[in-house]
Chain A
Amino acid sequence: MPMTTSTERQRTAAHAGLLSCHSCSMVIRPRLPQDDGAVRCPRCGARLHLRKPHSIHRTWALVIAAIIFYFPANLLPITVTTYLGSAQRDTIVSGVLYFMHSGSWGIALIIFVASIVVPIAKLAILCGLLLSVQRQSHWRLKERSQLYRIIEIVGRWSMLDVFVVTVMVALVRLGYLSTIEAGPGVIYFAAVVVITMIAAMTFDPRLMWDALEADDE
């Protein structure tokens, strides 16, 4: 059962002159930087920042990189199947279509969601969140925070197709059956997944709520 705790006069840590450690959640009154120019958490040793450094710029850069990589990821083949000398190239979309035609609707849906819906939704949502921060929007802060938490959690499931290719190349080799080789598309697709995961980590959701603070002053 969820329970709420009493608040410290409804203030944010930043407003109270405190900062909280990203890594261990300790709330600290910042002191002078150490030798290497960074303020470090006395408990876990992580670098301390009031907000994640250059969050907006870094996240934009990663989102744009992921959008660029998304095109070769879908246009280039992810597997090349050789059977009796003839090669068949499959992309992510043709993999989904294969399962649809063979009647495995459940599997087709899982791959469609993991490989196509999640990456696109994630990039679109991150773009929307970044724009909302830059416009200092107050619109539906709670729902936007929930969206952020969802994309943070589901992003890793996009790795599904990369693992499918890995298992397929291991099982189908130089037999009577045929040979499957990984195509260049899978590299770009793996890059998209990893880059969007890092992009979700560099985005600081507290920047959305800082718009409220800026208004009060």
Chain B
Amino acid sequence: MKQSLIACHTCDLLHRVIPLPEKSTARCIRCGTLLYSHTPRSIERTLASALTGLVMIIIANVYPFLSLQSQGTILETNLITGAVILSEQSMAGLALLVLLTSMLLPCTLLAALVYVLWPLKCGYCLPARRRMFRLALALRPWSMTEVFLLGILVSVIKLAKLATIIPGAALFAFLVLVFALAAVNTFVNPHTIWEKIDRCQ
């Protein structure tokens, strides 16, 4: 059988893949880049986090997000209100970018992970699972919910002196979504998942 090899993504040095003790990581001996890691129950934990995230995306879109109370009037906004207003101000491209990075791409990422991991856990194979997993991995840098959350914090501090800001249920759902995506990034282990996908014929 051919020896299993891995090449460092940063410096291309070849390493032999050896089984790792629990919760440890393998790093390149030349440049220190993470090669692969051992994550116990990676598939189950990633799947659970991804499902949580998907439910939270639904809640975050149904309920009010932030309300602004000023001189007796209340202005209610949804998660996508900002993008809608931007497109009304003839900034459709920017609106699309915000919508993609704060909601559509995280949603696609989580849905693709569920599509790949749920069948894998149950032991049957779906078509296009390789393409879907590749998509999910490629989308990771473009899902920016945590940056959006920081943006909300900064805006609220900016406005706090002028008006009362009332957080809605969607804001809390969005907060959980940020944690769910962070959990996905921690638990997902491309190395073992690709091996599982390979074995599933």
A and B form one complex:
yes
Looking at the complex, which of B13-21, B42-50, B107-115, B117-125 is the stretch in contact with chain A? Answer: B13-21
Q: A210–B28 Cα gap in the complex (Å)?
A: 16
Per-residue CB proximity of A10-27 to B under 8 Å, as 1/0?
111110101110111111
Looking at the complex, which of B51-59, B85-93, B175-183 is the stretch in contact with chain A? Answer: B85-93
Interface size class of B (residues with CB under 8 A): 35 or more
Query: Are B194 and A176 in touch, CB under 8 angstroms?
Result: no
Query: Are B68 and A4 in touch, CB under 8 angstroms?
Result: no
A residues in contact with B161, CB < 8 Å = 102
B139 within 8 A of A: no
A residues in contact with B25, CB < 8 Å = 1-3
Pull 19 A–B residue pairs with CB atoms less than 8 Å apart, ordered by A.
A1-B25, A3-B20, A4-B28, A5-B35, A8-B3, A11-B14, A14-B12, A16-B14, A24-B137, A24-B194, A145-B31, A157-B147, A168-B155, A169-B85, A170-B85, A182-B94, A186-B94, A208-B11, A209-B30
Query: Are B14 and A156 in touch, CB under 8 angstroms?
Result: no
Q: A4–B32 Cα gap in the complex (Å)?
A: 9
A151 → B minimal CB distance (Å): 12
Choose one: A148, A172, A190; the contact of B10 (CB below 8 Å): A148
B133 → A minimal CB distance (Å): 7
Query: Are A23 and B11 in touch, CB under 8 angstroms?
Result: no
Q: A208–B15 Cα gap in the complex (Å)?
A: 19
Answer whether A176 and B94 are a contact pair too, CB < 8 Å, given A5-B15, A110-B154.
no
Query: Are A24 and B190 in touch, CB under 8 angstroms?
Result: yes
Query: Are A142 and B18 in touch, CB under 8 angstroms?
Result: no
Per-residue CB proximity of A172-203 to B under 8 Å, as 1/0?
11011100011000110010001001000100
Query: Are B151 and A104 in touch, CB under 8 angstroms?
Result: no
Q: Which 6 A-B pairs have the closest CB atoms?
A: A163-B151, A166-B82, A20-B7, A170-B82, A13-B7, A167-B155
Query: Are B141 and A44 in touch, CB under 8 angstroms?
Result: no
Answer whether A110 and B150 are a contact pair too, CB < 8 Å, given A3-B20, A142-B32.
yes
Query: Are B29 and A7 in touch, CB under 8 angstroms?
Result: yes
Query: Are B144 and A159 in touch, CB under 8 angstroms?
Result: yes
B131 within 8 A of A: yes
Query: Are A7 and B66 in touch, CB under 8 angstroms?
Result: no
Query: Are B66 and A171 in touch, CB under 8 angstroms?
Result: yes
A120 within 8 A of B: no
A residues in contact with B158, CB < 8 Å = 99, 164, 168
Query: Are A187 and B91 in touch, CB under 8 angstroms?
Result: yes
Query: Are A46 and B14 in touch, CB under 8 angstroms?
Result: no
Q: A26–B194 Cα gap in the complex (Å)?
A: 9
Q: A190–B158 Cα gap in the complex (Å)?
A: 21
A73 → B minimal CB distance (Å): 12
Choose one: B14, B29, B102, B194; the contact of A18 (CB below 8 Å): B14
